[in-house]
Amino acid sequence: MSTTDAIRDAILAGAPGPELAALAIPESYRAAYVRRDEVDMFEGVESADKDPAQSLHVDDVATPELAPDEVYLAVMASSINFNTVWTSIFEPLPTFGFLDRLARESEWSARHARDEHIIGSDASGVVLRVGSAVRNWAPGDRVTVHCNHVDDQDPSAHDDSMLASNQRIWGFETNFGGLADLAVVKANQLMPKPSHLTWEEAAVNALCNSTSYRMLVSDNGARMKQGDSVLIWGATGGIGGYAVQYVLNGGGTPIGVVSSPERAALLNEMGCEAVIDRRAEGYNFWSDDTTQDESEWRRFGKKIRELTGEDPDIVFEHPGRSTMGASVFAVKRGGTVVTCAATSGYMVEFDNRHFWMKLKRLLSSHFANYAESWAANRLIDQGRIQPLLSTTHPLSDVGAAARSVHRNEVEGKVGVLCMSPEAGLGIDDMEKRERIGVDRITMFQRHAG
Ligand code: NAP
């Protein structure tokens, strides 16, 4: 029996921490990675046609040594994020530069500069070993992982750790990420696994849920208030689906923008009544590559007013170039556009006259600090925010899983089974699951069929 199989069997049998701690750590493990010598493989190919299944490999990689502040994690499940897509299509730039820069920081960080980048910024799993400086976690702990990777000895990391000069996203700007059977994680990235969820339901939340929490709820974000109306682009997508839940929980009115009647129906089921199907409405904000059409912004703004009777207090923005002009136009006088991304292009453009004359605000946001990640994880644990797992793939199928996100073919989140041999395992508290409501927890899974 392989070392990895022995670990899997022990976890599935519910082995206690000391027993797990006594198991050998494998010298190599199965992981999804991109290769340094393939970063030019898509030269001349249009972004939309770049296929992650061509660049993502799943094979054995050498296990790195463990630093004193890290743990080895047996990854039961992970998830596809949009950064999985960016890494695998080598846009906006290959990620090996991130690893090489990190490698120059310390003796331990030198491990990250490899010719394979093992990716993945989400995970649920079981702690196998802790480094000598780890205090609060022990082998056997069942955890989820947030992806905020900072050096806590750097003073710039002490207030809002997202402002740390060396802040990185684990599994995107660092190596040894979660799309693997084993991961190396700083102890300060660990959070307790919500006890009512399966491994794959628990694995999909941390990155997107924490991002939406910071954007809307946190003092560092748009500080949504009761009664606020919030326009949410991609409202059944990864971050958008959590945003809808935060607005509903916070006593606001979400206006969800999606691109199909099925997605509109899913939004209704979530409790979002004001819905815009952008495809059915046929918005064409850019009349050509360099010109935006203000009459289309007006048509969009009018539609929002028809639905809610007012302009939105907040716009939850992430498509970027295709929508930023419309977002800045549509947000109310004095309102806030909060942005964390630019899926359709990062050179954005808006009409500054509408912006300054109506005293609007544009706020940038990026992932979440430790406190925000913990607050967002706690809300999942309390059953106030539901996981958005829709489809689940085995790790061997990670390329097709990433492709489905790249092509905007799935709602919510795509889960990936790593050490977990099948979906549905890992629930520790069935009574709590039933109390919260299995139908609510599995809404996106049921929708995906
Ligand atoms: P996702 O699950 O693929 O959802 C994105 C949604 O955006 C889609 O469901 C789609 O919805 C909508 N969309 C796509 N292109 C659009 C366009 N041109 N115009 C209008 N809507 C469009 O992705 P995600 O995980 O939510 O991530 C969204 C973006 O945020 C990505 O660029 C990602 O890299 C970024 N992100 C950033 C952070 C951060 O910390 N900074 C964290 C998470 C994600 P419809 O087709 O239904 O309208």
By alpha-carbon position, which residue is closest to atom 48 of ligand 1?
258
By alpha-carbon position, which residue is closest to atom 24 of ligand 1?
238
- Cβ of 259 below 6 Å from ligand 1: yes
- Cβ of 146 below 6 Å from ligand 1: no
Give the pLDDT score at 297. Answer: 98
In this prediction, residues 133-160 reach a mean pLDDT of 95
pTM: 0.98
In this prediction, residues 181-189 reach a mean pLDDT of 97
- Cβ of 393 below 6 Å from ligand 1: no
In this prediction, residues 26-47 reach a mean pLDDT of 97
Task: State the Cα–Cα distance between residues 320 and 236, nearest whole angstrom.
Answer: 17
Give the pLDDT score at 50. Answer: 98
Give the pLDDT score at 152. Answer: 85
Give the pLDDT score at 57. Answer: 98
User: What would the pLDDT profile of 379-434 be if each residue is shown by its tens digit?
Assistant: 999 999 999 999 999 999 999 999 999 999 999 999 999 999 999 999 999 999 99
Coil vs helix vs strand at 252: coil
CA 121 to each of CA 66, 96, 265: distance values in angstroms, whole numbers, following the listed order: 19, 16, 30
- Cβ of 50 below 6 Å from ligand 1: no
Ligand 1 atom nearest to 169, measured from its CA: 40
- Asked if the domains at 3-207+370-448 and 222-364 fall in one CATH topology, the answer is no
Q: Give yes or no for residue 230 having a pLDDT over 90.
A: yes
Radius of gyration of the chain (CA): 22
Q: Where are the domains of the chain?
A: 3-207+370-448, 222-364
Neighbouring C-beta atoms of residue 54, cutoff 10 Å: 15
- Cβ of 172 below 6 Å from ligand 1: no
Residues near 369 by beta carbon (within 8 Å), at least 6 away in sequence: 148, 160, 161, 162, 214, 220
Q: Give yes or no for residue 62 having a pLDDT over 90.
A: yes
Domain 3-207+370-448 has CATH 3.90.180.10: yes
Give the pLDDT score at 268. Answer: 98
Ligand 1 center to residue 418 CA distance, Å? 25
Q: Give the burial class of 324: count Cβ atoms within 10 A of its Cβ; 0-12 exposed, 13-18 middle, 19 or more buried.
A: buried
Residue from 297, 405, 408 whose mutation best tests the ligand 1 pocket (most atoms within 8 A of CB)? 408
How high is the mean pLDDT of the chain?
Answer: 97
Give the pLDDT score at 176. Answer: 98
Name the DSSP letter for residue 228: -
Q: Give yes or no for residue 449 having a pLDDT over 90.
A: no
Residue from 318, 327, 413 whose mutation best tests the ligand 1 pocket (most atoms within 8 A of CB)? 318
Peptide bond into 92 cis (omega under 30): yes
333: left (phi over 0), alpha (psi -120 to 50) or beta: beta
Give the pLDDT score at 363. Answer: 98
CA–centroid distance for 332 within its chain: 28
Q: Give yes or no for residue 1 having a pLDDT over 90.
A: no
What confidence category does residue 289 fall into, taking pLDDT thresholds of 50, 70 and 90?
Answer: very high
Q: Give yes or no for residue 342 having a pLDDT over 90.
A: yes
Ligand 1 atom nearest to 368, measured from its CA: 40
- Cβ of 277 below 6 Å from ligand 1: no
Task: State the Cα–Cα distance between residues 363 and 336, nearest whole angstrom.
Answer: 7
Give the pLDDT score at 77. Answer: 99
User: What would the pLDDT profile of 78-121 be if each residue is shown by its tens digit?
Assistant: 999 999 999 999 999 999 999 999 999 999 999 999 999 999 99
Q: What percent of the chain has pLDDT over 90?
A: 98
Q: Give yes or no for residue 224 having a pLDDT over 90.
A: yes
- Cβ of 323 below 6 Å from ligand 1: yes
Give the pLDDT score at 208. Answer: 98
Ligand 1 atom nearest to 340, measured from its CA: 41
Q: Which numeric CATH code is attached to 222-364?
A: 3.40.50.720
Phi, psi of 4 (to 5 degrees): -65, -40
Give the pLDDT score at 228. Answer: 98
CA–centroid distance for 65 within its chain: 27
By alpha-carbon position, which residue is closest to atom 30 of ligand 1?
341
- Cβ of 82 below 6 Å from ligand 1: yes
User: What would the pLDDT profile of 355-382 be if each residue is shown by its tens digit?
Assistant: 999 999 999 999 999 999 999 999 999 9
- Cβ of 234 below 6 Å from ligand 1: yes
140: left (phi over 0), alpha (psi -120 to 50) or beta: left
Give the pLDDT score at 309. Answer: 98
